[in-house]
A and B are shown apart, each in its own frame.
Chain A
Amino acid sequence: MEFTLLGAALLAAAAVYGVLYYEARRANALECTRELWDVVLIAAMSGVLAGRLAAMVIGGTNPLTNLPDVLIVRSGVDTGWASLTALAVFGVSARRDLWRIADAVAPAALAGLAAWHAACTMRGACLGTPSDLPWAVASEGSAVGRHPVEIYAALALLAGAIVLIVGKRRHPPAGMVGAAALLIAALVRLLTEPLRPVIGAGPTAWYGAGAAVGAALALWRWRVGRRSSS
């Protein structure tokens, strides 16, 4: 793994841990911070590994015969498979009380994603499609202004994390905060994806599916909560 990517990963991890620690004394009565951290870390690492393997397979490289390539994460991680795997592993790790644990880690997960996107400043990878807007930024030696798309994503995810932290104080039905986090994360990627430079079709369909699943889960948990309270 390259050092700038490692730096971005560390920043994201620090953001996750920071929010878990902050929430531990306010909203997360169920689990201690370290246990929640383990659940998030295992899910995230499994997701990165699966996403890298998927990217290799899709690119026509057999991971079994080119094992060292797995470590070169910069060449691509398939976000769709990474997210699916992370969610599946999270589901297995947190199965004893899935909805409450999902609610407990949701704001931290969004904050971690926000930090990961904001770390584009370390990696020199913030810029997207051309733009004439006043805040457009040109890459070094270029006259073409571009959307700082990763900063948009970071700000939107940070706003989502804050909304969830505040929303949790109102004691929403179990699972709703976690579902809302999935909806927000997928929606942010879906809306910012057209502003990113890509090779090929891009994973927009995955983000659309993620947003739909997140919205359906949030609605379901809200209805279940209403039914049990009435």
Chain B
Amino acid sequence: MRRVASLVVVLALTGTACSSVSVPIDDVPELPPTTPEDVAALLETSDTPVVLNVWASWCVPCRSEAPLLRAAHAQHGDAVRFVGVAVEDGQRDARGFIAEFGLTGFEHLFDRPGTVPASLGGRGVPLTFFFAPGGDLVHLHRGVIDERTLALQIDELVRLVG
């Protein structure tokens, strides 16, 4: 029984390695630096809803929710714009995070001083903001986001437009 269980665990971990979504770090471009003004302009001019996730490579909960955001982008990326803002991070570490979790599908901005979240009304990491087209804040989720909340809030955004 123990041997079978060990075999299952080894196979599962091998499967993880083989089906990894990671990309080489060299495939991830430098993240463009941003400011609160840039982000405000991006939100105001966006004609689609925006899910803005604030993350950092050193933040364990951010690592934990990254696969969920990748899956949400794969499913809703055509109707909703996904933006990641890396805060208080280094370029190489941030690029490594994007590469590790294969988050290359959506745009990322680099906010080294970490001033963007406060300008939007949030504190700490991770944060997930849900904006209607034009930049009105619909919902702010503080902390790790779960699948139900993410799916529900994206549905709310899609219905605002539809």
Chain A residues proximal to chain B, CB less than 8 Å? 2, 53-54, 57, 59-64, 66, 68-69, 72, 74-76, 124-125, 127, 129-130, 139-142, 144, 146, 196-200
Contact = CB atoms under 8 A, between A and B. Distances in A.
A60 B16 contact: yes
B150 interface: yes
A75 B68 contact: yes
Contacts, number: 89
A75 B65 contact: yes
Interface residues of B, number: 36
B61 interface: yes
B156 A142 contact: yes
Nearest to A197: B151
Contact of A76 (B16, B60, B146): B146
Given A60-B19, A61-B63, A74 B12 contact: no
Tell me whether chain B's interface is mostly helix, strand or loop, or mixed: helix
Given A2-B143, A75-B68, A197-B152, A62 B16 contact: yes
Contacts of A64: 13
A73 to B, nearest CB: 9
For the complex of A and B, list the 5 residue pairs with the smallest distance between their C-beta atoms, beginning with the closest: A59-B67, A197-B151, A75-B64, A72-B64, A60-B21
A127 B151 CA distance: 11
B42 interface: no
A146 B64 CA distance: 28
B150 A199 contact: yes
A129 B12 CA distance: 33
20 contacts: A57-B15, A59-B71, A60-B19, A60-B20, A62-B13, A62-B17, A64-B13, A72-B61, A74-B146, A75-B61, A75-B64, A75-B67, A76-B67, A125-B148, A139-B156, A140-B139, A142-B138, A144-B156, A199-B72, A199-B147
Contact of B63 (A53, A66, A124, A199): A66
Contacts of A59: 67-68, 71
Interface in B1-41: 12-13, 15-17, 19-22
A139 B60 CA distance: 29
Contacts of B22: 60
Interface in B122-154: 138-139, 143-152
A53 B64 CA distance: 12
A52 to B, nearest CB: 10
Nearest to B19: A60
Nearest to B102: A60
Nearest to B153: A139
B44 interface: no
Contacts of B19: 60
Contacts of A74: 143-146
A139 B140 CA distance: 13
Highest count of chain B CB atoms <10 Å: which of A60, A69, A72: A60
B103 to A, nearest CB: 11
A54 B146 CA distance: 16
A76 B19 CA distance: 19
Nearest to B141: A124
A64 B15 CA distance: 13
Contacts of A140: 139
A228 B144 CA distance: 54
